[in-house]
Structure 1
Amino acid sequence: MMLLQPPKIVCSLNFLQALKIAQALADLKPSYVRLPGGNDLAGPIIPERFIWNNTIGLLVNRPGRRGIWTGYNTEGFGLIELLTFAEDIGATPILAVYAGYSFDGKAVPRNQLQPYIDEVVKELDVLTTSVSDNRMGALRAHLGPSQPFNIKYVESDNEDWIGPAPSAYSYRWPAFYNVLSQKYPNITFIATTTKSINSPPAVDDHDYQVPLFFIQNFFINDDDSKINDAFTTGRLDFPSIKSSVAELIYRIGLERNSDIIIGGCYVLVLQNIDNTQWTPNLIVFNADLIVKSTSYLAQKMFGENLEEGDSKFGNLYFVATKCTNDNTLIVKLASVDSNDIAIKIQTQGSTTSSVGLAYILTAGPAIVPSTVYNNWYC
């Protein structure tokens, strides 16, 4: 898929490097991918939002648009490419759709929303209908994918808890949800805030926080007074072992509530070290180098198996489960204690082997990493 670039398209990143990045993402074995990116979806202004039908078809016919942070977006990796890539790596797509609010803080007025709702309906018809049932399904087949995409989740807009967005979301969310949920009853629709709406089917919370936040919110009411002050560090240049452990603790908290939580993910994923707008990120790269952060390794390690159940003992956090297909016992542990902790695991009501595998993530302190080479893993 990623090799289907016309020869006249000039890329700053060579194909082999692009394939290595794609492989690094695939190696994470993500359960889902949210696409397109939220700020990219919103666009700098309403006319420069992510318009799905401007991102399909021949690359030379895609108009492109101004990038949200810098540069120009060619739409070379458009809607079909995004969904096909998610499908190729076995990830469920969470499709974000534009719902009338852009990065300049301006919203589509209530009485002008219908064309934007119609735009989403056409997008979902293209992606989910069969060739024989709908001419939009035939359009998808013409673009390449003969079978409908399996769209289970659709998210309405992005981060509508910021600035003036909540006031407009109070009318934008119901306008989109009421139409889309009736037409697509098998899709779960996700809101981006509950500040101005009530009881959506699901909500996407974005926690851009210091490491201490993630530890404290394993159990909201836990006493974390013994945690080292190093975990209160602000925004990092690059992930560190401390921040990665804090993220794992938060993830354990998510897994223990897997009956009500759809999933959790790390943002942002990719960082061009030569042109950076946001830190920290999961994977850093340039034309010659790809570096996987401690957070990448931590998420990959814990992502191998998803679990239920929970507990906490002092500064040790853990979750355990048993695979039903082969009775493998899986235990995930994360410690924020400054001292080593001796652990003894006992099982009840089952017979286990005396042999097992241990995967350990460890490194130097790296409290405030400042260089990619000192704190990341190639």
Structure 2
Amino acid sequence: MSRSTTGTTRTTRWRLGLTTTALLTATALLPAPAHAEGVTDYAITVDPAAKGAEIDDTMYGVFFEDINRAADGGLYAELVQNRSFEYSTADNTSYTPLTSWTVDGAAQAVNDDGRLNERNRNYLSLGAGSSVTNAGYNTGIRVEQGKRYDFSVWARAESGTTLTVTLQDAAGTLATARQVAVKGGWAKYKATFTATRTSNRGRLAVASSNAAALDMVSLFPRDTYKNQPNGLRKDLAEKIAALRPGFVRFPGGCLVNTGSMEDYSEASGWQRKRSYQWKDTIGPVEQRATNSNFWGYNQSYGLGYYEYFRFSEDVGAMPLPVVPALVTGCGQNKATDDEALLQRHIQDTLDLIEFANGPATSKWGKVRAEMGHPKPFHLTHIGVGNEENLPHEFFARFQKFRAAIEAKYPDITVVSNSGPDDSGTTFDTAWKLNREGDVDMVDEHYYNNPQWFLQNNDRYDSYDRNGPKVFLGEYASQGNAWKNALAEAAFMTGLERNADVVKLASYAPLLANEDYVQWRPDMIWFNNRASWGSANYEVQKLFMNNVGDRVVPSKATTTPDVSGPIAGAVGLSTWATSAAYDDVKVTAADGSTLLSDDFSGDASKWKHVGGGSWSVQDGQYVQTDTAAENTMVTAGDPAWQDYDLHVKATKKSGKEGFLVAFGVKDTGNYYWWNLGGWNNTQSAVEQAVDGGKGTLITKAGSVETGRAYDIDIKVRGRQVTLYLDGKEWGSFTDNKPAEPFRQVVTKDASTGDLIVKVVNAQASAARTAIDLGGAKVASQARVTTLAAGENEVNTETDTPVTPVPSTFSGVAAKFTYTFPANSVTFLRIRQR
């Protein structure tokens, strides 16, 4: 996960299989395609005799990271929050060991020699006649009438002690209470509830007749995905499975290479802020560690590596784990020089491969077998590292991992990466090292605005066909509206066209609990009672279920570019930083002054459009709130073009640097030069379009506190040149058209179907002449259409972006079809 602080193996393809009645019924739901001859808006020409790129079955997959509480309280089906009393201020400053619990009587969390085991440090000391109640996640514990729920607890008490376990909400009981007799030292006790009614606000209570010690208080729905023990929430897992993913990348993301790489120890309290390491996450759940999550909460590791492998197998996907390379990322930017620690992590990676693939007689294969899976998981790919901003340091360590893995497991593909952005110094350096090092595959990540995705359909057209292959491990346009999904769909046609280079691709992130969001956008949203696919999910599902086996070369006409020169006002901003600005001057190309402000008086020329606390102090315009994000103030005319902007900027305190905006049309549409962004590790020019940002230039670098910088920005037409302290820092020309009409054609080898995939990301319908190049085809096509208003968003109660199946009977070697406005349309045409 690339966190900008300035924004935010199948062998058989599934095919559309509907009854004739259903197809004919659905046809009436769509706009009627145009049949009349005449002038068309677009033309698509297909060459069925030519061979395009072969598309692997693993082309599209999913990326799971425990962000937005995607694991505990999400995909992991456990209903009790903080079940082992391990929450800590190291996870979140508001946490205590009793977070999510309420106490009636005497109870306290204890960490002493009486604990359950060395990694499960805390337990609950419960007084005689006392009880504790757990609130679960979201509004509470969700139960459904007639369904069964399995309770378990580890307990220690004198013989004759009875635990009374109840499930209830404010209206009363939700199931018959259970009595559990405790007999002596630590042991696991179980009971089963059958819900007598449905509730979203359940509470689980445990009361004890005598003094007792409790740990690992658990409530699981019996009905997990594929009825697996310690399993997954069924509706979420089924939505992921419905995508038919070719691979599952896990466990992150920023979880992989953030936090300490060291071992747990008594001195460190056996926790916290430790990087995600696979050996922490296997074995009996009561013996697994909990850890501080990078995204600001606690992670229990109940959903661990064994469960990830098992889920990949259950959905028919290739597992693709990612291990830390001992170079941190996600704004931390540190590299360890501890050779012994490095070698230990390399050995851990070799042990991971043995855990996945080794025979049940091997050391780690035996662990897998004892957990319930004697057969191997067939691991073929493994990623090393994630979004490191130190490419040289990362690659030196990556080479050591790769050498060790290839020496012992030569058939494993070891995946490198290119940092957190789609371009820039880190990206270029990383790719150079990867090419020179003859790396097999490179993981790219980027999050940009919809316009970027419409502009960059050809991104991989120019990649070296003989160089490393691309794994697009994380990408998304910045939003969950239909316009975002449309832009992603347009971009995906380019991924498929370049399937000889782009071998794997996964949208990110996968899951978001609506009450615990650290990142947007997300593919699948949920709460404790329901889940729903975003508009982006529907696009991913349509592409992933209709990939085809080979690209059929095709061409399409384009849309005329009507963009004019960059125009807009100017702006000043900060992000989690206090900064001072002075001597602002905007000069037209003819030398006339458009704006001049040395803040010797007031700041009446400036309009507040963001947050923060701005005031004139000692002849400077100062923003003093170091917690506020995007504090923009603007001045000037949105119609300004061809001008020079000068400003003097000084960082006073805080995490980052300063931001100088130009081409400002409104609060969601502008350019800014972000100096000292990403926790003061790099600088970039970003473009905001309808609130979503895309990066145009990025370079490593930081801003010094207390130093005054001279910033000059020259705007001419669509070309911009930037100067820092009188020296040219960079330039760009923003003249790439955001093409709204994109297409790709693939062939399904098992059926012979041509799959014509067309994205029309504009407000008008696209009447299109389609020439199939003489192919002999059936007259009727099966059609799936996604169409909606560009700002529509799927929610729990309303899903305006929903696939509509239909038939079209006008197919011929040459025919005309009208693609609706703001639509993604797939036509499956049978060849004869």
Q: TM-score, normalised by structure 2?
A: 0.41
Report if the CA contact (8 A) 1:12-1:287 is conserved: no
1:292-311 equivalences under 5 Å are 292-307=533-548, 308=551, 309-311=553-555
User: In the alignment, which of 252, 257, 273 is matched to residue 37 of structure 1?
Assistant: 252
Query: Given the alignment of the two structures, is residue 83 of structure 1 paired with residue 322 of structure 2, yes or no?
Result: no
Counterparts in 2 of 1:126 and 1:31: CA distance versus 1, 3 Å:
same
Counterparts in 2 of 1:61 and 1:271: CA distance versus 1, 3 Å:
same
1:149-164 equivalences under 5 Å are 149-160=377-388, 162=389
Q: Which runs of 5+ in 1 are unaligned?
A: 223-233
Which residue is equivalent to 2:748? 323
Query: Given the alignment of the two structures, is residue 114 of structure 1 paired with residue 343 of structure 2, yes or no?
Result: yes
Letter matched to residue 121 of structure 1 = L
Report if the CA contact (8 A) 2:794-2:801 is conserved: no
Which residue is equivalent to 1:313? 557
Report if the CA contact (8 A) 1:38-1:157 is conserved: no
Report if the CA contact (8 A) 2:282-2:305 is conserved: yes
Query: Given the alignment of the two structures, is residue 127 of structure 1 paired with residue 353 of structure 2, yes or no?
Result: no
Q: Secondary structure at the match of 2:415?
A: strand
CA shift, 1:3, in A, is: 7.0
User: In the alignment, which of 409, 412, 424 is matched to residue 184 of structure 1?
Assistant: 409
Report if the CA contact (8 A) 2:532-2:794 is conserved: no
User: In the alignment, which of 82, 97, 106 is matched to residue 323 of structure 2?
Assistant: 97
Which residue is equivalent to 1:210? 449
1:1-378 equivalences under 5 Å are 7-8=152-153, 18-47=233-262, 48-102=274-328, 104-109=332-337, 111-112=339-340, 113-132=342-361, 134-160=362-388, 162=389, 165-193=390-418, 195-196=429-430, 197-199=433-435, 200-220=439-459, 236=478, 238-307=479-548, 308=551, 309-314=553-558, 315-366=740-791
State how far apart, in whole Å, the 2-side matches of 1:297 and 1:128 are: 34
Per-residue CA distance 1:129-184 (angstroms, 9 max, x = gap): 1224x332222211211111111111111111x3xx32421321111111112221
Q: Secondary structure at the match of 2:334?
A: coil
State how far apart, in whole Å, the 2-side matches of 1:127 and 1:291 are: 32
Q: Which moved more, 1:186-195 or 1:248-257?
A: 186-195
Q: Which moved more, 1:323-332 or 1:85-94?
A: 323-332
CA shift, 1:110, in A, is: 5.5
Q: Greater helix share, 1 or 2?
A: 1
Q: Which moved more, 1:283-292 or 1:106-115?
A: 106-115
CA shift, 1:291, in A, is: 1.8
CA shift, 1:377, in A, is: 5.7
State how far apart, in whole Å, the 2-side matches of 1:2 and 1:284 are: 15
Structure possessing the higher relative contact order (Cα contacts under 8 Å, 6 or more residues apart) = 2
CA shift, 1:220, in A, is: 4.2
CA shift, 1:90, in A, is: 1.0
State how far apart, in whole Å, the 2-side matches of 1:168 and 1:152 are: 26
CA shift, 1:221, in A, is: 10
CA shift, 1:347, in A, is: 2.7
CA shift, 1:349, in A, is: 4.7
State how far apart, in whole Å, the 1-side matches of 2:800 and 2:520 are: 14
Report if the CA contact (8 A) 2:152-2:219 is conserved: no
Report if the CA contact (8 A) 2:457-2:491 is conserved: yes
CA shift, 1:65, in A, is: 0.8
Counterparts in 2 of 1:352 and 1:202: CA distance versus 1, 3 Å:
same
Report if the CA contact (8 A) 2:151-2:220 is conserved: no
State how far apart, in whole Å, the 2-side matches of 1:136 and 1:202 are: 27
State how far apart, in whole Å, the 1-side matches of 2:759 and 2:445 are: 22
Q: Which moved more, 1:335-344 or 1:284-293?
A: 335-344
Q: Secondary structure at the match of 2:540?
A: helix
Which residue is equivalent to 2:826? none
Counterparts in 2 of 1:64 and 1:81: CA distance versus 1, 3 Å:
same
State how far apart, in whole Å, the 2-side matches of 1:302 and 1:214 are: 16
Per-residue CA distance 1:75-105 (angstroms, 9 max, x = gap): 0010010011011011111121121133543
Report if the CA contact (8 A) 2:249-2:321 is conserved: yes
Instruction: Determine what percentage of the aligned residue pairs are the same residue.
Output: 27
Q: Secondary structure at the match of 1:203?
A: strand
Q: Secondary structure at the match of 1:131?
A: coil
State how far apart, in whole Å, the 1-side matches of 2:482 and 2:379 are: 35
Counterparts in 2 of 1:6 and 1:374: CA distance versus 1, 3 Å:
closer
Counterparts in 2 of 1:23 and 1:220: CA distance versus 1, 3 Å:
closer
State how far apart, in whole Å, the 2-side matches of 1:139 and 1:221 are: 42
CA shift, 1:350, in A, is: 3.8
Q: Secondary structure at the match of 1:343?
A: strand
State how far apart, in whole Å, the 2-side matches of 1:347 and 1:240 are: 33
State how far apart, in whole Å, the 2-side matches of 1:354 and 1:189 are: 47
Q: Secondary structure at the match of 1:265?
A: strand
Counterparts in 2 of 1:22 and 1:174: CA distance versus 1, 3 Å:
same
Q: TM-score, normalised by structure 1?
A: 0.87
CA shift, 1:364, in A, is: 1.3
CA shift, 1:318, in A, is: 1.0
Counterparts in 2 of 1:377 and 1:345: CA distance versus 1, 3 Å:
closer
Letter matched to residue 218 of structure 1 = N
Report if the CA contact (8 A) 2:290-2:301 is conserved: yes
Counterparts in 2 of 1:310 and 1:43: CA distance versus 1, 3 Å:
farther
Q: Which moved more, 1:212-221 or 1:30-39?
A: 212-221
Counterparts in 2 of 1:10 and 1:291: CA distance versus 1, 3 Å:
farther
Which structure: larger Rg? 2
State how far apart, in whole Å, the 1-side matches of 2:781 and 2:522 are: 32
Which residue is equivalent to 2:715? none
Counterparts in 2 of 1:240 and 1:13: CA distance versus 1, 3 Å:
farther
Q: Which moved more, 1:15-24 or 1:119-128?
A: 15-24
Report if the CA contact (8 A) 1:283-1:291 is conserved: yes
Q: Which moved more, 1:307-316 or 1:284-293?
A: 307-316
Q: Greater strand share, 1 or 2?
A: 2
CA shift, 1:12, in A, is: 9.3
Which residue is equivalent to 1:225? none
Give the number of equivalent residue pairs.
Answer: 361
CA shift, 1:370, in A, is: 11
Counterparts in 2 of 1:284 and 1:212: CA distance versus 1, 3 Å:
same
Counterparts in 2 of 1:81 and 1:260: CA distance versus 1, 3 Å:
same
Q: Secondary structure at the match of 1:155?
A: strand
Letter matched to residue 441 of structure 2 = A
Report if the CA contact (8 A) 2:481-2:791 is conserved: yes
